[in-house]
């Protein structure tokens, strides 16, 4: 099946030319990297963490992750792990066959790698339903399509985000990448604090990010629990840390942190965004 875009015209532009201009705006914005990247070929990156709000809010922050990924060399397959905001589908859902459409074209699902991930996992279900209206995987795809159409994806969405679930997903993804010999990287889709004043959001998010940059997934869960944090994709982040570590990543760097208030000027109630890279 072709999975049609659910949030084109809302989270990003529906018109292809306008979408390309918006992506360029994300890279060139004062909160962004400043320039478009040149496509490299080093392939050191095992995972990235990037936000998934509307491009006008989080796009410049997300552009930092994609600047690094593109400069390093775009992998043949991207495993995109996202939270489930809709409640549709099963607890952890993978779409195994077909393609995803955006205004910039279609991207095939890497069915062989998807099948291997399900085989290695004890909990991931094959379930297209969870993906049909979910935005948090979709918004990442055009950032790569801007630079190339020569890649595939494996979309995974997590309603269940406990540490044991994330560990299962992370181990399954890493084992499947090794088993298939794929040139692949993992994308964790998350926003951080939701709807707190800027100073509280920054303080909370900095403590969580400190654990992420230490690649301490266990500690991250501890901080989130202690602070009752409203980060929406902690499971995908933990799964990506675990998978990246198994695949050889030894460091995680914060590329950019900002909030919606840094874009709109309204810092009374903000959402936090961060881009990080694991290599």
Can you give the pLDDT at residue 58? Answer: 98
pTM value? 0.97
Q: Can you tell me which residue has the tokens 């926003």?
A: 191
pLDDT along the chain (279 residues), means of 10: 96 98 98 97 95 98 98 98 95 97 98 98 94 97 98 98 98 98 98 98 98 98 98 98 98 98 97 98
CATH (residue range 1-276): 3.40.830.10
* Structure confidence at residue 213 (pLDDT): 98
Q: Distance between CA 169 and CA 47 in Å, rounded?
A: 14
263 backbone dihedrals φ, ψ, rounded to 5°: -90, -50
Reported residue count of the chain is 279
Q: Which residues contact 216 (CB under 8 A, 6 or more apart)?
A: none
Residue 182 CB neighbour total at 10 angstroms:
19
């Amino acid at each position: 099946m072709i999975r049609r875009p659910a949030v084109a015209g809302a989270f990003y532009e529906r018109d292809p030319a306008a979408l390309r201009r918006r992506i360029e705006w994300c890279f060139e914005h004062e909160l962004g990297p400043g320039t478009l990247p040149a496509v490299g070929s080093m392939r050191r990156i095992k995972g990235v963490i990037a936000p998934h709000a509307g491009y006008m809010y989080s796009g410049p922050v997300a552009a930092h992750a994609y600047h690094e990924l593109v400069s390093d060399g775009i992998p043949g397959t991207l495993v995109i792990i996202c939270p489930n905001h809709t409640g549709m589908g099963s607890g952890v859902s993978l779409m195994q066959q077909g393609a995803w459409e955006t205004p910039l074209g279609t991207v095939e699902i890497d069915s062989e790698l998807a099948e291997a991930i399900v085989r290695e996992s004890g909990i991931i279900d094959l379930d297209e339903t969870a993906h049909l209206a979910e935005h948090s995987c979709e918004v990442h795809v055009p950032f790569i399509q801007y630079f190339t159409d020569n890649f595939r994806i494996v979309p995974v969405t997590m309603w269940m985000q406990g540490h044991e679930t994330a560990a299962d997903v992370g181990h399954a993804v890493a084992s499947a990448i090794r088993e298939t010999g794929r040139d692949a990287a993992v994308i964790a889709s998350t926003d951080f604090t939701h709807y707190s004043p800027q100073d509280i959001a920054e303080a909370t998010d900095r403590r969580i990010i400190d654990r992420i940059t230490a690649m301490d997934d266990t500690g991250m869960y501890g901080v989130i629990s202690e602070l009752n944090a409203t980060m929406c994709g902690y499971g995908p982040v933990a799964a990506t840390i675990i998978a990246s570590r198994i695949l050889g990543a030894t460091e995680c760097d914060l590329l950019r942190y900002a909030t919606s208030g840094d874009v709109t000027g309204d810092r009374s109630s903000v959402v936090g965004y961060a881009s990080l890279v694991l290599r």
